[in-house]
Amino acid sequence: MIEVRDLHKAFGTVKAVDGVSFKARDGEITGLLGPNGAGKTTTLRMLYTLMTPDRGQVLVDGIDAAQDALAVRRELGVLPDARGLYKRLTARENIDYFARLHGLPEELLDSRREALVKALDMADIADRRTEGFSQGQRVKTAIARALIHDPRNVILDEPTNGLDVMATRGLRQFMQHLKSEGRCVLFSSHIMQEVGALCDRIVVIANGRVVADETPAALREQTGEANLEDAFVKIIGSEEGLAA
């Protein structure tokens, strides 16, 4: 479970995150939805301890990120906005390198890695150097790498960005699989259709603030709009920066 309490982060005069609070629960997919520049990436970066908040608290499985960032990182699997693979290493070697950084026992490595290679349908690319990988191949490798230490909480920053229809479908199924294993899955997106189809709960962010935190059905009901896209536009007050 991930809990965020009253997070703030400013860059000069830009209030990127301006009092964000929400919970992402185990066994659920929570979507952070907002237009371009809403503060999604900045919020996620504070969650996975890459950035220190000006104010506010991040709790992962009850551990305070400000008190014990290392313990929080152990509980998290993160697909960051910059996917950053080692291009001279193969996909398998990239995964193994992270496993060793996490101190995963060698006897567990093979079975854990191969389970991810299978679940992400990446057997055909696993022994290729990642240099020259397509966007979808890069995302798969980065996700496998992020999950090798079997974290209970998974954070994905715009995971389907740049993926084609088939790769997007595969990734959505994989996220459902993570949920069925009881994990807490939190991802950001500005694609309404995606969030509506996948999420148990939607946290809508605009101008660094949470403007809605509901189930998709409740959002439709609250706004009186049958269509989720219309509901979002009503909540945010503008269509700018949202993709259908």
Ligand X SMILES: Nc1ncnc2c1ncn2[C@@H]1O[C@H](COP(=O)(O)OP(=O)(O)OP(=O)(O)O)[C@@H](O)[C@H]1O
What does the binding site for ligand X look like in residue numbers (CB under 6 A)? Answer: 11, 14, 16, 34, 36-42, 190
- Residue 51 corresponds to which amino acid? M
| Min separation Cβ 71 and ligand X, Å | 25
In the complex, least distance from residue 233 CB atom to ligand X, rounded to whole angstroms:
16
CB nearer to ligand X: pick between 5 and 15: 15
User: 212, 221, 180, 211: which is closest to 198 by C-alpha?
Assistant: 180
Q: Which residues of 22-31 are buried (b: 16+ CB within 10 A; e: fewer)?
A: bbbeeebbbb
Rank residues 146 and 204 by Cβ distance to ligand X and give the closer one: 204
Shortest spacing between CB 218 and ligand X, in angstroms: 23
- CA-nearest of 112, 195, 180 to 146 is 112
Sheet holding 201-206, edge to edge: 76-79, 153-157, 184-189, 29-33, 201-206, 209-214
Distance in Å, CB of 160 to ligand X, minimum:
13
Measure the N-to-C terminal CA separation of the chain; round to a whole number of Å: 29
Structure tokens belonging to residue 57:
């608290």
For ligand X, the closer CB: 33 or 184 = 33
Q: How far is the CB of 11 from ligand X (least distance, A)?
A: 3
Q: Which amino acid is at 86?
A: Y
- Asked whether the beta carbons of 80 and 48 are under 8 A apart, the reply is yes
Q: Which is nearer to ligand X, 73 or 190 (CB)?
A: 190
Closer to ligand X at the Cβ: 37 or 80?
37
What the block records as the tokens of 36 is 């371009």
Cβ at position 207, least distance to ligand X in Å = 9
* DSSP string of 94-155, one letter each residue: HHHHHHHHTT--HHHHHHHHHHHHHHTT-TTTTTSBSTT--HHHHHHHHHHHHHTT--SEEE
Least distance from ligand X to the Cβ atom of residue 189, Å: 8
> Smaller CB distance to ligand X: residue 45 or 149?
45
Phi, psi for residue 210 in degrees, rounded to 5: -80, 120
Q: Which is nearer to ligand X, 35 or 125 (CB)?
A: 35
